[in-house]
Structure 1
Amino acid sequence: MRLVHAADLHLDSPLLGLSRLADSDLAATLRRATRRACENLVDLCVAERADALLLAGDVYDGNWRDYATGAFFVRQLSRLHDEGIPVFLINGNHDAESEITRSLRLPPNVHRLATDRPETVVLDEVGLAVHGQGFATRAVLENLVPAYPDRLPGLVNVGLLHTSVTGAEGHDSYAPCTPEDLERCRYEYFALGHVHDRRVVADGEHVAAFSGNLQGRHPREPGAKGATVVEVEPGGRAQLRHEVCDVARWTHIRLDVSGLGDADEVLDALDGRLRDVGLEAGSRPVAARVTLDGATAAAPALLDAEWLRAEIDIVAEKSGAVVETVRNRTRSPRAAAAQAAVDEELAGAVAAAAERLVADPSQVEAMVAPLEREVGRRLRGAGLDLRDHAGLAALARRAEEELRARLAGSG
């Protein structure tokens, strides 16, 4: 049996950082990217002759009221109906607050599983049993897995769940569970959603995995994105294969310039990294965030931010990339020596405070609430969403880095 597992489509999600892209064509491509990635997902299901598509939540992006988004999704599901491919989906935390989710009529090939209890849908014609429960509200804080039903013998049993499992940086802790909880269900495969990175959380006899999202939406979602093709038979171990569905790619190049002698060497090293990223992306456009870090004699020459950005744009253009942001954290060897001498106890306290904020971004949200009320809309237009927990966690990390640099006297 061949299944396709996808999650976190976030159709028509307002992508962050587009205002910082000088290339208007790339910005336009990224605005359409989630829809085109969804079309690629449907094409994949057809090309693979999939027995079913599994959607593990967050088709939509919160309280999004544009019904054209829903109509687009229904058209894609209808394409699968015409190909005879059934679809199983559950509500994620974003779907639970979406008006579109509650009002759209879905084609007859689509099975949306219950939100008040785990539900099982059996397709005898293909020998498949799908067990799952969606979110009735945005914040589901209890472990749903213990209530999932026993596997049905003689069938391929698949679980659908939107969850953080044991936790993931930048993601709210929803429907938490452990890999052992998932394995105890003894399903051939558990298709997970919510975490946007592709990862396997149980790789023994009973496999459980996140497919990641279909399309990166900002620099904190870098690299290839897509869906997971699952080959499995009753009682057998699932075999997974990742297939790319994205149409544009974000990357964050963190370049350690330690020991490089001058600005030309720094730019040459960056050129090599950007060329590698371009080769990996193929024909897809690339938006790059660049961070330069390390102790180098070139640090004084890199202090001119306008000159540095212009030079980096020229280097990026040669590899077909567009630069979103440049962060210069280089320092002279003398300043680096001072940073190494920072009191270890104080540095540890700074790191511990940052870890607490990253683990619970709601604390940062409370801190910036006055800013959100006053200038939140304006900041979102500039690419900074103070309501985005992943972004707030990244801000906490950046604050830690900046504070440690200032303590060392280099900032």
Structure 2
Amino acid sequence: MLRFLHTADIHLDSPLKGLESHEDAPVEQIRGATRRAFDNCIDLAIEENVDFLLIVGDLYDVDWKDYNTGLFFASRMGKLNKAGILVFIVSGNHDAVNQITRTMPLPDNVTLFSAKRAHSIRLEDLGVIIHGQSYGSRAVSENLALHYPQYEAGYCNIGLLHTSLTGREGHEAYAPCTVDELKSKGYDYWALGHVHKREIVADDPWIVFPGNIQGRHIRETGAKGATLVTVADGHVTEIQEYELDVLRWVTCPVDLSSCETTSSVYEAVQQAFAVELALANGKPLVVRLILTGHCPVHTQLCQRTAHWTEQFRGIGAGLGNVWLEKVKFQTSQMVRPEEVLEADMALTGLLQSIQELEFDGDTLAALVPELAALQSKLPPEIFIGEESFLHPSPEAIAELRGQVQDLLIAQLLQYGKVR
């Protein structure tokens, strides 16, 4: 019997995004998260006495800023070498051969597959043959799997491939291939990388994305880790998932439909945070809070979003190990606004105009002439990504429109009630 640990997408020293701007953020935990998660990986390999470790692409996030990243990795490979554990690596799109300009000698237990072609490494004493190919450049559109060799009888055949298969949301379509093409090779286990969410694609044979070992932003939620594989008589007999992350990202929806007071809102949020902490076994959490439901406090929420956000941040701080990444206010009125305004034709007409409000990025610039001038003076990076200053996606514009409508309607209803 033999065992190996399948990991991918380490993204060593990659920054975690979405927290460092907050004064209460756990800066040191954020900066060292990928290293500490990788330490957990090394410790697991040693504790489980695995025969070898697989790293299937994107060990590094980008070219090293200095040699500290390489020194850290080399020292951990040294620990595995002392434990008699081999390491096999293919590079991916983030650490392709032509992307990493600095190098460092590694212990003899580490093998990096060539980017020139797929090739095989035999471990005769273990009865294993490992097939793999690294990325030569960042964007690989070629179907690399087509050129992998067929299985060799008498061995447990393992394939290493950094790929998006036929496509996965949020990931570039690199080294595309189909499940049938992988199965046609006759391997016992396909160790995949590139997709950051764990997925068992097939179990005959096993085709597995282990996901990354540490979430780095709010789009990488939930437990992150590696897959421990057991082989007996040349065949995979068991796979087990192990959590390695040291800080977890979660989305936390809270229905406020039954909340009639501010204190009940606080209680609902605190309870939701406590549940998430328990599910993570007390692991530090970065939370995106999503408030939903038809609730009596909707107007109060819309009018003072900044105030409420700080209150919720305080609740997390009080629990310890909970940091608020963002609050999405998606509640709604208990009654239709038309019912509140009744026969006031002037206010009803204004309400209709607000409800029919439509705009996109160009319309915003037209509504606020200063916006275009401001955009030209700001650094371009703040316009990139989900959390950008003015994200151009239709979803983000729709969300912004909804927030504006909610705020205007809340103010209108309050005015209508006191007239």
CA contact (8 A) 1:214 1:227 kept: yes
Structure-1 separation of matches of 2:285 and 2:379: 30
Corresponding residue for 1:247? 246
- Quick one: distance in 1 between partners of 2:178 and 2:387? 22
Report which stretch shifted further, 238-247 or 99-108: 99-108
In structure 1, the partner of 2:16 is 15
Whole-Å Cα distance in 2 between the matches of residues 395 and 257 of structure 1?
30
Mapping for residues 11-90 of structure 1, pairs under 5 Å: 11-24=12-25, 26-90=26-90
Question: Match of 2:267?
Answer: 268
* Sequence identity percentage: 37
Instruction: Report if the CA contact (8 A) 1:4-1:229 is conserved.
Output: yes
3-state SS of the aligned residue for 1:311? helix
Report the Cα distance in structure 1 between the residues aligned to 2:208 and 2:14, rounded to whole angstroms.
24
Alignment of 1:8-407 (within 5 A): 8-24=9-25, 26-96=26-96, 100=100, 103-203=103-203, 205-258=204-257, 260-303=259-302, 304-320=304-320, 321-334=322-335, 374-377=378-381, 379=382, 386=384, 396=393, 398-399=395-396, 401-402=398-399, 405=402
Q: Which amino acid in 2 is paired with 1:20?
A: S
Deviations 1:135-194 (A, max 9, x none): 100000121112111112121111101111121211111111122222222211111111
List per-residue Cα deviations over 1:256-286 (Å, max 9, x = no partner).
3345444433332222221111112224221
Could you tell me how far apart the structure 1 residues matched to 2:44 and 2:198 are? 18
| Shift in alpha-carbon separation, 1:232–1:335, aligned structure 2, 3 A | farther
Distance 1:97 1:114 in 2: 9
> Aligned pairs, how many?
375
CA distance in 1: counterparts of 2:71 and 2:337, whole angstroms: 56
SS at match of 2:316: helix
CA contact (8 A) 1:207 1:238 kept: no
Pairwise CA distance, 1:301? 1.6
Classify the secondary structure of the residue corresponding to 2:379. Answer: helix
Q: Is the 8 A contact 2:98 2:137 kept in 1?
A: no
Mapped to 1, the partners of 2:215 and 2:112 lie a distance apart of 25
Equivalent residue number for residue 371 of structure 2: none
8 Å contact kept, 1:295–1:331: yes
TM-score by length of 2: 0.81
Contact map agreement 1:21 1:323 (CA 8 A) in 2: no
Determine the structure 1 residue equivalent to 2:416. Answer: none
Which secondary structure state, in structure 2, belongs to the residue aligned with residue 43 of structure 1?
A: helix
Between the aligned partners of 1:20 and 1:87, the Cα distance in structure 2 is: 37
Q: Secondary structure at the match of 2:57?
A: coil
SS of 2:187's equivalent in the other structure is coil
3-state SS of the aligned residue for 1:129? strand
CA 79–2 in structure 1, closer or farther in 2 if over 3 Å, else same:
same
Cα distance 1:18–1:313, how it changes in 2: closer, same or farther (>3 A)? closer
Distance 2:110 2:124 in 1: 16
**How far apart in 1 are the matches of 2:386 and 2:318?**
35
| Cα distance between partner residues in 2 of 1:372 and 1:201 | 46
Structure 1 Cα separation of the partners of residues 86 and 234 of structure 2: 22
Tell whether the 8 Å contact from 1:286 to 1:322 is kept in structure 2 after alignment: yes
Q: Provide the C-alpha distance between the structure 2 equivalents of 1:256 and 1:333, rounded to a whole number of angstroms.
A: 13
User: Contact (CA 8 Å) 1:132, 1:161: kept in 2 or not?
Assistant: yes
Does the C-alpha gap of structure 1 residues 206 and 404 become closer, same or farther in structure 2, counting only changes over 3 Å?
farther
Change over 3 Å in CA distance of 1:166–1:99 after alignment to 2 = closer
Of structures 1 and 2, the larger Rg is shown by 2
CA-CA distance at 1:101 after TM superposition: 6.3
Q: CA deviation at 1:8?
A: 0.7
SS of residue matched to 2:121: strand
Decide which moves more: 282-291 or 153-162: 282-291
Deviations 1:193-219 (A, max 9, x none): 11111111112x201111111111112
User: Highest relative contact order (Cα 8 Å, sep 6+), 1 or 2?
Assistant: 1
TM-score computed with the length of structure 1 as normaliser: 0.82
| Alpha-carbon distance in structure 2 between the residues aligned to 1:291 and 1:211 | 28
| Residue pair 2:63, 2:102 contacting (<8 A) in 1 also | no
CA contact (8 A) 1:295 1:336 kept: no
Amino acid in structure 2 at the alignment position of 1:217: R
The one-letter amino acid paired with 1:128 is: V
Which runs of no fewer than 5 residues in structure 1 stay unpaired?
A: 351-369
